[in-house]
Structure 1
Amino acid sequence: MASPSTVKTLSPSDPHAITEALNPKTTKYEFAGPLGALAVSVLTPGLLYVFHLTCSELAGGCPPPLLSLPSTLQSTRWLNALWDTNAFFVYLGWYAYCVLCWKLIPGDWVQGTTLRTGEKKLYKINGFSTGLLTLGLVAGTIYRNGPLAFLYIYDHWLALVSASVVFAIFQACAVYALSFRKGALLALGGNTGNVLYDWFIGRELNPSFSWLDNINFDLKTFNEVRPGLILWMLNDISCMCEQMVRRGRHAWPTDSMILINLFHGLYVLESLWYEKNILTQMDITTDGFGFMLAIGDLAWVPFSYALQARYLAFTPRELGWTLSTIVCILNFVGYYVFRTANSDKDAFRNGKNPKNFKTLKTKRGTELMISGLWGMSRHPNYWGDLMMGLAWCMTTGFNTPITYFYIAYFTVLLVHRAMRDDEMCRKKYGDDWTEYKKIVKWRIIPYIY
C-alpha cells in the first residue's frame, strides 16, 4: 500500500514534457481499421436494443414470432421506452454515487505498472467496499418495502440502456478532446491520426483528473470495476424482484433466478475484491480509453450480461435438482480454474513462486510459467471463464438460443484477446516465445484450442 504523497503520479497539471519519442505515431490498425471501428461502434449499442426486440414481453417472446417484429418496431410503446429523461438523470445519479464512494470510502493506494515515462500511477482500491455498501442499501430497501420497491431498473430497462450509451459517447468524445492537451501520454495503439479510429480505440492511455482534493482520479480503472460491474448485479436483482412480484405475495424466486443472481453476484464481488489485479491487464497497461472501453464498461457489461436474469423475469423456470447440480458443478469448477490461474499468475508477476512452477528463462531476464494450469494452456483463466459463462446460460434452459449469446460472444472475445496477447508476446520475447509455444501448445482449452 502507498499513500498519494509517496509516489509521483502523472496528471494533467504535471509540467513533464511528453516528447514525440514517448508518443510515436501508430502505424498499425486493429479491428480492421476505421471501418471496423465504425462497425463495432454501431453494432455494440445496437445489439443492446436488438436483445430487447428479440427477447422481451414487449416483442412478444424470446424470440418473438417473425410476423410480429414489424408491428413491434412501429409500436409507440417501443419508441416511448427508448428514452426517458428522468431515467437519464437516474443513471447520472448512479454514476455520481459511484464517484462519491470512490472519494469518500477509505481504500488502499496501489502502484500500477511503470509507464513509458518511467513513472508509476497510483490507484485507489475500494471497489469491494463500494459493492458491499450498495448491496446493503439495496437489501435494506427490499427488506423494508418489499420487491416492488426495486422494479425501477426492470421497468425502465431500455431508457437506462439509452442513458448509458449516451454517457459512453460523451465520455469518449471528452477524453478524445482532452488527449490533445500538453503532457498527455498517448496509447501506442491510438495515435494514428484518424479521428474515428483514435476516438474508438482510445487516444490517451490513462485519462486522469486531479480535481478531487488534488488526488488522482483515473477514469479508465474507475469505469473498469465500478459503475458497470456493480450495476450488473443491481440489474439482476431488479429482474429477480420482478419475478417475485409476478409470482405473488411471499413467493420465492425460481431456482434458476436464484442461481443466476448467485453466480453473477459472486463473480462481480470477486472482481471487486481482486480489483488491484486489473492493473496488470491489457485494458489498463496497453489500451487507451476511448469509445471501445467506455461502451463496454458502462453499457455492454451491465445490460447484455444480465440477459439471462431478464429472460427469467418474464419466463420463470424451475431447473430441478439434477440440472441445478450440473450447472453448479460447471460454474464452480470453472471458478476454481479461473481463480487458481489468476492467483498463480499474480503471485508469479510479484516475484513469488509458492508452488514451485517450472519456468522458461527468457533473454529479457524474465521467466514464463510452463507447469501447473499455465503449463496446460497459455490462458487457463479464459478456460475457466468460459465454463462459468456456459453455466450462466444454462440457467435459462434450452428453449431459446438468444440467452446463449453470452457464451458465443465471450468465446469470440477471448479468442481475439488471446490472439492480441500472442502478437504482443511475440514482439516482446522473440524466439523465446516460439520456444514457449512449443512447450505450452494450447491457447485456451487443452487439446481443443
Structure 2
Amino acid sequence: MDSKNASKRILNPKTTHREFFGVPGSAAVMLGTPAVVGIWYFSCNEKVGCQLPTTRSQWSDIAADIINYNAYLSSEAITYYALWWSWLVMLCFVIPCSYAEGTLLRNGERLRYPINGLSSLLVTTVTALLAYANYGTAPYIWIADHFFQLAVASLLFSTAQALFVYLYSFRRSSQDLPAGSDKKPVLLALAGNSGNPIYDFFIGRELNPRVSGLDLKVFNELRPGIMGWILLNVSFAIKQHHQFGALSNSMWLAIIPQIWYCIDTLLFETKVLTTMDVTTDGFGWMLSFGDLTWVPCMYSLQARYLSFHPVHHPPVVAAFIAVFALVSFLVFRLSNSEKNAFRANPSDPAVGHLKYITTESGSKLLVSGWWGMARHINYTGDWMYGLAQCLATGFETPMTYFFSAYFLVLLLHRNYRDECKCRDKYKKDWDRYCELVPYMFIPHVI
C-alpha cells in the first residue's frame, strides 16, 4: 500500500462503530422526532387543551386531526424562515467581531471562528423592538399563531441543509487531488464515514463543513435555533398578554430562565468550540434538525402551553421555583466556569488551590472543587435548571415536562459518550480518577 493511501486511511478511517443502533436507529430517529413535534402540537393546543394521549380514542382523534389538517405548508412561513436564517448569516459576516481558534484537529489545523453571536442577538433585538414600534404586536401574534407552519418550514430547511452538506462532503477526497496539490482533503467525522448513505446522512459525514467562510455547524449551533427559541418565547408571552390582558407569573418563571440560558450560551460562545458537538460530531441531519427544529419548537413548549392556559402560582410557590432555578443555574455556570478557568490557566489564583491529577497524556483532571463533587456536576445543574422551567407550568399535564424528561435522556447519553471517550483517552488514569471522584452527578448519591 503506498504512502498516499496510508495517509488517507489515517486521516479519514472507515467508521466501524455506529451509534443509535446503526441504520435502523437512525431511520427511527429521523421519522420519530418530527412525529413527536407533530404529536405534541396536535395534542397540546388551544383547541384540545393539553393532555397526554393514553387511550385509543385519543390517538384516533389526533390521527384524524393530522390527516385532516390542510395547512402544513405555508409559503409565508417558508419565506419568513428563509429570511430569518439569511438575516443571521448576514449578521455573522457584517458585525465587527473578534476571532477564536477551535481545538486542534487531527489534520493539524485549527479553524478560526467569528465571535459575534451576542452582538447578533443585540442587533436582532433592536430590530424586533423597531418592528414592535411600527407594527405593534401583530408580527408576534402571527408567529405564535403560525407556530406549526414555522416548525414544518424549519424541518424542510434542516433536511435540505443536511442533504446539501452530505453531498458537499464528497467535493474533495484524497484520491481526487493531483500530486503536489496545495488543497487538503475534506476532514470527515470519525463516526460519519461508514459508507452507508442513510447513516452518514443522519450522523454527519464532514466534521466542519464550510461555505464561503461560514462554518455551518457552529453557525447553526448558536444562531437560528437559540435565537429562534427566544423569539418564540417572546411571541407566546405577547399572545398570552393579548388574550388575557396580563402576563401570569408562570410565564415569567418559564421564559426568563430560558432567555437567560440562551444569552448565557452566547456570552460563552467560545466555550461551545470545545463541546463534543463541535469537536467530534459531524454535521448531518441529527444536528441540523436538532438545531433548527427540535430546540426552538420543543424547548418553547412551556411558553406555548402558558400562552393559552395561564397558570397563577401562589407567591410562596413562585418564590420556590425562582430560587430553584437560580440555584440550578449557579451549579451549572460556576462548575463550567471553574473548568474553563482551569483549562485556560491552572495557575490562575481563582483555581490555583484546586487539586488535580496529571495523566500520562499530560492532561490534568480536577479532583476537588466542583469537579471533586461529581464527574459531571454541570449536567446536574443543567437538568435541574430545565426542570425548574417545567415546574413553572404546574401539574395539570405531564406533557409540559417532556423537556425535562428528554433532557435527562440526552444528558445520560452524553455522559455515556463522555465516559467512553475519557476511558479510551486516559486509560488507567481514568480508573484512578474515578476512584478519587466516584460520583457522576450527585455527591454521595450517584
Structure 1 residue 29: Cα displacement: 1.1
Q: Could you say which residue in structure 2 is the equivalent of 1:341?
A: 335
Q: Could you say which residue in structure 2 is the equivalent of 1:80?
A: 70
Distance 1:283 1:76, change over 3 A: closer
- The one-letter code of the counterpart of 1:153 is I
Query: What do residues 238-289 of structure 1 show as CA deviations (whole Å, max 9, x unaligned)?
Result: 1011111111xxx331111122221111110110111110111100000000
Separation in 1, partners of 2:58, 2:220 = 38
Q: Tell me which of 241, 245, 253 is aligned to 1:244.
A: 241
The answer to whether 1:306 aligns with 2:296 is no
Q: Could you say which residue in structure 1 is the equivalent of 2:344?
A: 350
Structure 1 residue 150: Cα displacement: 1.3
Structure 1 residue 24: Cα displacement: 0.6
Unaligned runs of 5+ in 2: 1-5, 173-184
Structure 1 residue 397: Cα displacement: 0.4
Separation in 2, partners of 1:280, 1:76 = 41
Q: Could you say which residue in structure 1 is the equivalent of 2:110?
A: 120
- Conservation of the 8 A alpha-carbon contact between 2:383 and 2:407: yes
- The one-letter code of the counterpart of 1:19 is K
Structure 1 residue 60: Cα displacement: 4.3
Q: Could you say which residue in structure 2 is the equivalent of 1:52?
A: 41
Secondary structure at 1:25's aligned position in 2?
coil
Unaligned runs of 5+ in 1: 1-16, 211-215
- The one-letter code of the counterpart of 2:153 is A
Distance 1:35 1:77, change over 3 A: closer
- Conservation of the 8 A alpha-carbon contact between 2:43 and 2:62: no
Query: What do residues 361-415 of structure 1 show as CA deviations (whole Å, max 9, x unaligned)?
Result: 1111111001011011111111110111110001100110000011111001001
Separation in 1, partners of 2:287, 2:77 = 23
Q: Could you say which residue in structure 2 is the equivalent of 1:36?
A: 25
Q: Tell me which of 11, 29, 49 is aligned to 1:22.
A: 11
Q: Could you say which residue in structure 2 is the equivalent of 1:152?
A: 142
Secondary structure at 1:27's aligned position in 2?
coil
Separation in 2, partners of 1:23, 1:291 = 20
Structure 1 residue 344: Cα displacement: 1.0
Q: Tell me which of 148, 161, 164 is aligned to 2:154.
A: 164
- The one-letter code of the counterpart of 1:414 is L
RMSD: 1.8
Higher mean displacement: 118-127 or 150-159: 150-159
Separation in 2, partners of 1:268, 1:18 = 41
Separation in 2, partners of 1:423, 1:77 = 44
Separation in 2, partners of 1:328, 1:29 = 41
- The one-letter code of the counterpart of 1:20 is R
Query: What do residues 12-66 of structure 1 show as CA deviations (whole Å, max 9, x unaligned)?
Result: xxxxx98232001111111111111111111111111011022112334434795
Distance 1:65 1:116, change over 3 A: closer
- The one-letter code of the counterpart of 1:100 is M
Separation in 1, partners of 2:127, 2:359 = 50
Q: Tell me which of 258, 264, 268 is aligned to 1:264.
A: 258
Q: Tell me which of 387, 410, 414 is aligned to 2:411.
A: 414
Q: Could you say which residue in structure 2 is the equivalent of 1:295?
A: 289
Separation in 1, partners of 2:437, 2:198 = 38
Separation in 1, partners of 2:323, 2:283 = 37
- Conservation of the 8 A alpha-carbon contact between 1:358 and 1:371: yes
Q: Could you say which residue in structure 1 is the equivalent of 2:317?
A: 323
The answer to whether 1:234 aligns with 2:234 is no
- The one-letter code of the counterpart of 1:176 is Y
Q: TM-score, normalised by structure 1?
A: 0.91
- The one-letter code of the counterpart of 1:278 is V
Query: What do residues 89-116 of structure 1 show as CA deviations (whole Å, max 9, x unaligned)?
Result: 1101100011011011111111000111
Secondary structure at 1:110's aligned position in 2?
strand
Separation in 1, partners of 2:99, 2:81 = 28
- Conservation of the 8 A alpha-carbon contact between 1:341 and 1:373: yes
Q: Could you say which residue in structure 2 is the equivalent of 1:13?
A: none
Separation in 1, partners of 2:136, 2:157 = 31
Separation in 2, partners of 1:243, 1:18 = 60
- The one-letter code of the counterpart of 1:427 is D
Distance 1:440 1:298, change over 3 A: same
Separation in 1, partners of 2:201, 2:12 = 16
Structure 1 residue 168: Cα displacement: 1.0
Q: Tell me which of 204, 207, 213 is aligned to 2:206.
A: 204
Q: Could you say which residue in structure 2 is the equivalent of 1:379?
A: 376
Secondary structure at 2:96's aligned position in 1?
coil
- Conservation of the 8 A alpha-carbon contact between 2:42 and 2:66: no
Q: Could you say which residue in structure 1 is the equivalent of 2:177?
A: none
Q: TM-score, normalised by structure 2?
A: 0.92
Separation in 1, partners of 2:65, 2:9 = 54
Separation in 1, partners of 2:200, 2:115 = 29
